[in-house]
Structure 1
Amino acid sequence: MRAGFRGTGAGTRGHRTEPGHDVRRKRGARRPAAPAAHVRGAVARLGGGPDGRRRRGPSLLPGWTRAHVLTHIARSADSRTRQLCSASTGADLAQYDDEAQREREIEEGAGRPAAELAADLRGALGGFLTTAAEHPDTEWEVPVRRLGGGMRPVRGAVGSMLREVEVHHTDLGRGHRPADWPPFFVARELATTAAGLRERDDAPGMVLIADEDRVLRPVGGGRGPRVSGPATALLGWLTGRADGHGLTLDPPGPLPDVPAWRS
């Protein structure tokens, strides 16, 4: 995930078998049906992306055209397909060799003709959806290794793909705003983002309160203003995809400076 207006985030990679560590031992039968359904909807809304020369126009991400964004979504889908295949077969398939490879593939892919970009996007997303639909129920808890370090169950590939499609659809600058993000995604991502901020030393002290549930989500120790508003406005602001319009502070004042979003 490119972190947009305020920096970059970390990707993930496939698992590697370490001595004494059986990566296939954690198994379960919980299929991530809800996230998968929302990924299908997000992919349908994205379609093939902007047409023709509009793909060459600037995106909302500094230094990236829309072609860069579309290529990034396609490569993100391919990388998660590799994770699913790695989990289901036991093959050692890295999501990416390293960050340099990821950036190089995006830069090289962004220069392709519009028709090739569109076909690549459809093929990559279609491949991911098919692989996720066919993934064995018993293999969703198989851990895969993150590019930035650590392990996570492969089920996370589905939720993170939803994040990639929804947020980067907004980054295309073609009218898909945080207010258009589906409620399921917003609720899930707001909880994840708040939890991530609680683990960061550079997060300002504040309490996040979404109008929809009025749950208190303290970050930065919770010492600071209460920031309230629609969940979409909160998430859009925290991810750098909106300016905080619609949010209120108690006590009144300017919005805190939030750190670059990490997906």
Structure 2
Amino acid sequence: MTGFSNAPGSSVPKSPDRPASSQLLSNVGTAAADFRSRVASLTDADVRAPSRLPGWSRGHVLAHVAGVADAMARQLDYAARGETIELYDGGSDGRNRAIEEGSVRSADRLRAELDAALDRALSAFGDLSDEDWHAPISYRDGVVRDGGLALWRELVIHATDLGTGSEADSWSPQFCEHLFDFLSARVPAGVRVRLQPFGMAPRVLTGNTGTQTFATTGSTVSVNGMATDIAAWLAGRTPNLGSLRAEAAADGIDLPKLLPWPSGIPAK
């Protein structure tokens, strides 16, 4: 799949939270292989068991991840024609219906559907030229690269949601950096959060304005801790709260309340 008709020629800046296309493709492939390994031996009883997501079984998680992979492959299919299409067939209702229907299937069928969806998505991303990564898609009013980042996020985060041994403390520094950037949209307007991950450069998240290297002074909530725990907190997962500390004006405070996941906010 090369030569997308509407792909702009400008390049995307490379940074720790925006990996080069080849690195992103490798990250997605590694995450897909890890996710498959997490579900390879699950039984029917295992997929009926609760996941770490409230109200969802592991079957819900598997059906959702398969749906995301299919949805991203569908985005690329249409981008190759110079067209865009809604992320899920049937919109959010179609997404929710597919997850509920898939959640009650057998472990073998869920694995087969997941494998087929991941194979389709990985093949589609693997066929891209450098220019194709910048073709428009409807997901977050972004480009193909945003779809690749989304699939990477879904695979890594939902691997921990399965509760089969993967924990947020295994997330790579690059993945944490990416979450700091993407999830800056969860910071409410008028709030500034200074992240101080151990062993990494501090950065500031400000409501509606994204992230920046810390270079300002003023009233700021500082969140200190392991990068993986800060990333887990931003992602709405349970961090090791013993490693996180929030401060304002040198006083310990509760961690700031965050906005919902930024699925509906256009890509930057």
* TM-score where L is the length of structure 1: 0.81
Percent pairwise identity: 30
* Separation in structure 1 between the aligned mates of residue 257 and residue 91 of structure 2, nearest angstrom: 31
Letter in 1 for 2:154: E
Q: Which residue of 2 aligns with 1:248?
A: 245
Residue 259 of structure 1, CA deviation: 3.1
* Separation in structure 2 between the aligned mates of residue 100 and residue 184 of structure 1, nearest angstrom: 33
Residue 219 of structure 1, CA deviation: 2.9
Higher relative contact order (CA 8 A, sep 6+): 1
1:127-166 → structure 2 map (5 Å cutoff):
127-146=120-139, 151-166=141-156
Matched, 1:239 2:229: no
Select which of 52, 60, 74 maps to 2:66: 74
* Separation in structure 1 between the aligned mates of residue 92 and residue 201 of structure 2, nearest angstrom: 39
In the comparison of the two structures, how many residue pairs are matched? 236
Residue 133 of structure 1, CA deviation: 0.4
Contact 1:32–1:158 (CA under 8 A) maintained in structure 2: no
Contact 1:27–1:139 (CA under 8 A) maintained in structure 2: no
Matched, 1:191 2:178: no
Q: Which residue of 2 aligns with 1:225?
A: 221
* Separation in structure 1 between the aligned mates of residue 200 and residue 96 of structure 2, nearest angstrom: 39
Contact 1:66–1:172 (CA under 8 A) maintained in structure 2: yes
Contact 1:24–1:142 (CA under 8 A) maintained in structure 2: yes
Q: Name the SS of the counterpart of 2:224 in structure 1.
A: strand
Contact 1:204–1:256 (CA under 8 A) maintained in structure 2: no
* Separation in structure 2 between the aligned mates of residue 183 and residue 110 of structure 1, nearest angstrom: 32
Residue 204 of structure 1, CA deviation: 5.0
Contact 1:239–1:260 (CA under 8 A) maintained in structure 2: no
Letter in 2 for 1:162: W
Q: Which residue of 2 aligns with 1:65?
A: 57
1:80-159 → structure 2 map (5 Å cutoff):
80-91=72-83, 93-96=85-88, 97-146=90-139, 151-159=141-149
* Separation in structure 2 between the aligned mates of residue 260 and residue 94 of structure 1, nearest angstrom: 21
User: Could you list the runs of 5+ residues in structure 1 that have no partner in the other structure?
Assistant: 1-22
CA RMSD, 1 decimal: 2.4
* TM-score where L is the length of structure 2: 0.79
